[in-house]
Amino acid sequence: MKTASFSDFRKHAAELFDDVENGEIVRIFRHGRPIADISPISSETVPSWKKKPPQIPIRGTSLSSLILQERKSSAR
């Protein structure tokens, strides 16, 4: 676990976030007291609305094909 003071975190945030992306946990201190732990996000904590929805196969004629057939039959 890496540690950084709040002012060091502000100065070197990009580098510390690179460490977090590589799996490191960073603890931030302010006035000598720990105030935050920054840890990498796991796939289990990704909100469901950010996950790719499952693909549902649908059998039969596509809707666009049905629309084109309807247009051809109504044009006659």
Condensed to tens digits (0 to 9), the pLDDT of residues 7-25 reads 999 999 999 999 999 999 9
Tell me if 36 is assigned to some domain. Answer: yes
Tell me if 48 is assigned to some domain. Answer: no
Look at residue 10 in the predicted model and tell me its pLDDT.
95
Q: Which helix (H) or strand (E) holds 63?
A: helix 63-75
State which amino acid sits at residue 10: R
Look at residue 47 in the predicted model and tell me its pLDDT.
74
Look at residue 26 in the predicted model and tell me its pLDDT.
96
Residues of the chain below pLDDT 50: none
- pTM, to two decimals: 0.55
> How many domains does the chain divide into?
1
Tell me if 28 is assigned to some domain. Answer: yes
Indicate the burial class of 8 (C-beta count within 10 angstroms; 0-12, 13-18, 19 or more).
middle
The domain spanning residue 35 has which CATH number? 3.40.1620.10
